[in-house]
Amino acid sequence: MNKRIFFTSILCIAFLGNLNAQSPSESTEAVQQRVSTKVKLVTETVHKWAENGRDPSPILKTMQTKVGPLLDSGKFVEADAELDHVLETLKQDGKSAEPTTASTDAMQQRVVAKIERVKEGAHKWEAAGRSTAPIARMMGEKVKPLLDGGKLVEGEAELDRVLETLSQDANADESPATPVEAAHQRVAAKIERVKEIMEKTAESGNDPSDIGRMMEQRVKPLLETGKFIEADAELDRVLAELKKDAK
């Protein structure tokens, strides 16, 4: 596995392993944040070792055989403790966990942020009773292999597609208004227009009571009986008359 991407790959594994779980509590969230920070420190050190020609395989082996399985099964407390052992080993070795280049760090942060956005979107699907299987499949079959291969740019692009899918499906879930609901909305807008005309009539020194009486006699009875489509048509006639009188 490419040393640059181990951190984001670990987060992706954790995401997949806990996709169908409930949102973490506040205490669990704090542990996850500590784990993420420690994984990042280990990742940066491993990358530094590789740049300096050192063999990071012992550290990677520990991460893959001990830390990775714990994250995969959602055991963040145990993973946190295991990461302490890894960091202690690195400290004893005399190597500090210095940051990688700014560009790589920025890209990693974007990828991590997008994984979190996908996770939030998946939780919303789950809360709405929707299956998260399509998202899990995209993350497992497309995103994770790219991150495992150190292809940050391609992985980020694939994450964008996952987020786009979540966005499009969210919009598609919005049921179109029924004819009555649409008429209700139109009626509300037209009543506001009539009110504006009445206010302008009063401001000009004229008596708007005729308009009020017209609404009371012709529109109100239809609204009281729930006949919004008929009320919509009647309001059109009222507005046409008011326009004609204005001329």
pLDDT by residue (tens digit) across 26-46?
357 777 778 888 888 888 877
pLDDT tens-digit readout, 189-210 = 888 888 888 888 888 888 888 8
Q: Report the range of poorest mean pLDDT among 69-78, 89-98, 128-137, 229-238.
A: 89-98
* Top mean-pLDDT range of 77-81, 133-137, 168-172, 179-183: 133-137
Is the pLDDT score of 178 beyond 50? Answer: yes
Is the pLDDT score of 1 beyond 60? Answer: no
* Domain co-membership, 166 together with 235: no
Handedness of CA 237, 241, 242, 247 (dihedral sign): positive
**To the nearest whole number, what is the mean pLDDT of the chain?**
76
Predicted pLDDT at 91: 73
Is the pLDDT score of 140 beyond 60? Answer: yes
Q: 174 falls in which pLDDT band (50, 70, 90)?
A: very low
pLDDT tens-digit readout, 78-109 = 888 888 888 877 776 654 444 445 566 777 88
* Domain co-membership, 58 together with 143: yes
* Domain co-membership, 91 together with 196: no
Structural domain boundaries enclosing 206: 179-246
Predicted pLDDT at 103: 60
- The residue from 154, 172, 190 where one domain ends is 172
Predicted pLDDT at 17: 55
* Domain co-membership, 147 together with 189: no
Predicted pLDDT at 215: 87
- The residue from 172, 201, 233 where one domain ends is 172
* Domain co-membership, 39 together with 120: yes
* Domain co-membership, 149 together with 236: no
* Domain co-membership, 11 together with 131: yes
* Domain co-membership, 234 together with 138: no
| Mean pLDDT along residues 2-25 | 51
Number of domains forming the structure of the chain: 2
* Domain co-membership, 49 together with 98: yes
* Domain co-membership, 223 together with 168: no
Is the pLDDT score of 8 beyond 70? Answer: no
* Domain co-membership, 57 together with 118: yes
- The residue from 116, 144, 172 where one domain ends is 172
